[in-house]
Amino acid sequence: MEKLLKKLNDFNELVMFKHSIFSLPFIFIAMVVAANGWFGFKLMILGILAALTARNFAMGFNRYMDRDIDALNPRTVNRPNVDGRISASSMLIFTIANALGFILIAYFVNDLALYLSLPILFVIGSYSYFKRFSYLAHIILGISLGLAPIAGVVTVLETIPLWSVFLSIGVMFWVAGFDLLYSLQDIEVDKKLNLHSIPSKFGAKKTMLISKVFHFFTVVFWLLFVINSESSFFAYLAVIISALMLSYEHYLVNKDFTKIDKAFFTVNGYLGIVFFILIVLDNIFY
């Protein structure tokens, strides 16, 4: 039993399960708005399973592909994909199993979800390649998580309304913006390994400016989501609070690069949760 728990903990570290906090709230935000409230236990369970299998696939594939790069980066050298705790074959099996699980779950959701399952897997898997030839990898990561609201609304409505597109584009810019800040830690490593990233190409100062621009667009598209979905007070409050939290995130990073982890995990994690709670309240009271 102890050996099994240790192995589960290694896989938990491999896929960084706690990072699910970035995508899960926005899947359920889309589902709540699509259903005008509660969408049922069945869809809740299917939504959670779809999100987890998709993310496990993406992270497992990324760790499998990046094990050569991670072995040369002091920040990642102790990851399970590098230090031998999880073998390459185990990662590959884990990745394939989660891909198949995601497709199976999509089958039980509806026809449109099934049709979109393979394209979604292709997009979220492609991130692992982009850093090797294009600094637009940050955008690809943003698109990958930006698909979360689309998946949520398709689960409930089996269609893609305009408001969900605005919400998704906002998530894309949000994720790309905070990934830029997180990537500041690897500027020198990226240059040394000839990896492509905005920080290594444009430098820290311009990267922080680009991140600010991305987060400005985040707020704009989330505001368009609120307007187009005909939401009310609490939804507008969610956008305002998100703008304040993103401003605080940039304040932390501008003040001290050592605060990047706090900005990345704490601020962005709470942002998604607060946004979700306020959208739920909006659908309860309006």
Contact (CB, 8 A) for 180 and 199:
yes
Long-range contacts made by residues 48-53, C-beta under 8 angstroms, separation at least 24?
48/24, 49/101, 49/105, 50/102, 50/105, 50/106, 50/109, 50/113, 50/151, 50/155, 51/20, 51/23, 51/24, 51/27, 51/148, 51/151, 52/20, 53/98, 53/99, 53/101, 53/102, 53/105
Distance, CA of 226 to CA of 124 (rounded, Å): 26
Contact (CB, 8 A) for 151 and 27:
yes
In a domain, 55, yes or no: yes
Query: 258 falls in which pLDDT band (50, 70, 90)?
Result: low
Q: Can you point out the beta strands (E) in 99-233?
A: none
In a domain, 6, yes or no: no
Query: 263 falls in which pLDDT band (50, 70, 90)?
Result: low
Distance, CA of 1 to CA of 6 (rounded, Å): 9
In a domain, 257, yes or no: yes
Each residue of 60-83: pLDDT tens digit? 898 888 888 888 888 788 888 888
In a domain, 7, yes or no: no
When mean pLDDT is compared across 100-109, 141-150, 266-275, the lowest value belongs to 266-275
Specify the number of domains making up the chain. 1
Mean pLDDT of the chain: 89
Burial tier of 180 (Cβ tally within 10 Å: 0-12, 13-18, 19+): buried
In a domain, 162, yes or no: yes
**CATH code: domain of residue 82:** 1.10.357.140
In a domain, 11, yes or no: no
Domain extent at residue 178: 23-285
- Residue 257: the pLDDT is 66
- Residue 284: the pLDDT is 87
In a domain, 73, yes or no: yes
Q: Cα dihedral angle (66, 70, 72, 77), rounded to 10 degrees?
A: -160
